[in-house]
Amino acid sequence: MKPAPFAYAAPETLEETLALLAEYGDEAKLLAGGQSLVPLLNFRLARPRYLIDLNRVAGLAGLAADDVALTVGAMTRQRRLERDPLVQQHYPLLAEAAAFIGHPAIRTRGTVGGSLAHADPAAELPAVLLAYGGSVRVQGPQGERELAAEDFFLTYFTTALEPTEVLTAVRFPRWPAGTGWSFLEVSRRHGDFALVGAAALLTLDADRRCTRVAVALTGVGGTPYLVREAPAILVGQEVDATRLEAVAEAARAGVDPEGDLHASAAFRRHLSGVLTRRALQQAAARAHPV
Ligand SMILES: Cc1cc2nc3c(=O)[nH]c(=O)nc-3n(C[C@H](O)[C@H](O)[C@H](O)COP(=O)(O)OP(=O)(O)OC[C@H]3O[C@@H](n4cnc5c(N)ncnc54)[C@H](O)[C@@H]3O)c2cc1C
């Protein structure tokens, strides 16, 4: 298949990009890594009249970190998350999860901003952003705004981004040193999108009692799903089998997955519990109080 005809623009600044978006509005599509958009164009599931390529726009790629957070430019390739020593050391959940995205060739082109803006309900990065309690930075005709992950993902392939806005950067807050992490997923074949995935972060004190925890799931509905009950069940407590099962039960009860040709809704619900429990267990085992 070939895409329907479109006009192509390759702006070099964010200002030019915003001006083009303001002019063309929802007749335009931004092109990042192209790993989701190009197949959609080729199947003519997307037929934009204008394609605005972000690849030459200055200042959209790269990592910046301080003691508080990691800021990832929207055009940073997914592969960088997996390989960057700073990410591996201080944001190991991000590095671990990135390695589950498709295959190396896809991660080498695919961008962090593209994955979040595309908002595939089975994607890894949206759940990881939710687990970290992160946010996205967005630039539009009215200036900049920052949206918490919880407010950004609205439903299947739909975010709070306006057609005139560009996602410019993503912010992952740093969790305390010694925090344990785990990303687990079940997919039909290695490299496939997850049927269900779980991203967990868990901090322990010197008595191995939980001081902070988050677990978020992917593949269980239109948006990534935060298991909100986890802190009430685990914080201040030892992470034992009974409490892990209580969080798993909360996950199973809370998710609202749909069935499709890859997995039934019941199987996805079952996986939600299993992966929640296992991810928290692994995160607790990796946590070391400092
Ligand atoms: C075979 C295959 C397997 C894959 N497996 C997985 C997987 O297991 N897990 C997973 O998460 N993904 C997977 N992907 C998708 C991959 O991660 C894509 O890279 C990602 O979904 C989109 O990122 P992109 O940079 O390629 O964006 P593009 O495809 O260029 O764009 C995707 C959408 O986001 C919009 N967009 C992109 N950047 C911005 C921005 N900065 N601001 C506003 N809007 C923007 C575009 O307009 C478009 O609508 C797979 C892809 C393929 C081809």
Return the residue matching tokens 């407010």: 151
Q: Where are the domains of the chain?
A: 7-53, 63-173, 180-286
Residues 164-187, mean pLDDT to the nearest whole number: 97
Backbone torsion region of residue 219, taken as left when φ is above 0, otherwise alpha when ψ lies between -120 and 50, otherwise beta: left
**Residue type at 205 in one-letter notation:** D
Residue 74 alpha carbon, nearest atom of ligand 1: 41
**Residues 6 or more apart in contact with residue 279 via CB below 8 angstroms:** 182, 183, 184, 198, 199, 200, 215
Query: Which neighbouring-strand residues pair with 169?
Result: 73, 137
Question: Does 171 have pLDDT greater than 80?
Answer: yes
- For the segment 206-228, the average pLDDT, to the nearest whole number, is 97
| Average pLDDT value for residue range 251-264 | 94
User: Class for domain 63-173, per CATH?
Assistant: alpha beta
pLDDT digits (tens, 9 = 90+) for 7-24: 999 999 999 999 999 999
CA 117 to ligand 1 center in whole angstroms = 8
99-to-55, 103, 124, 249, 288 alpha-carbon distances in Å: 22, 8, 9, 28, 23
- What average pLDDT does the structure give for the chain? 97
Question: pLDDT band at residue 88, thresholds of 50, 70 and 90?
Answer: very high
- State in Å: Cα 248 to ligand 1 middle: 30
CATH number of 7-53: 3.30.43.10
Ligand 1 atom at shortest distance from the alpha carbon of 100: 8
Same fold, 7-53 and 63-173: no
Q: What angle do CA 262, 264, 268 make, to 5 degrees?
A: 95
- Residues having CB within 6 Å of any atom of ligand 1: 29-37, 54, 74, 101-102, 106, 110-111, 113-115, 117-118, 120, 123-124, 161, 166-167, 193
pLDDT bracket for residue 183 (50, 70, 90): very high
Q: What is the per-residue pLDDT across 36-68, written as a single tens digit (0 to 9) for each?
A: 999 999 999 999 999 999 999 999 999 999 999
Homologous superfamily in CATH for domain 180-286: CO dehydrogenase flavoprotein, C-terminal domain (3.30.390.50)
Q: Report how far ligand 1's centroid is from the alpha carbon of 290 (Å).
A: 37
Which H or E run contains 125? helix 124-132
Q: How many CB atoms lie within 10 A of CB 245?
A: 14
Ligand 1 mutation target, pool 76, 106, 129, most atoms within 8 A of CB = 106
* Mean pLDDT, residues 260-283: 97
Task: Identify the CA nearest to 227 among candidates 204, 208, 209, 243.
Answer: 243
Whole-number pLDDT of residue 190: 85
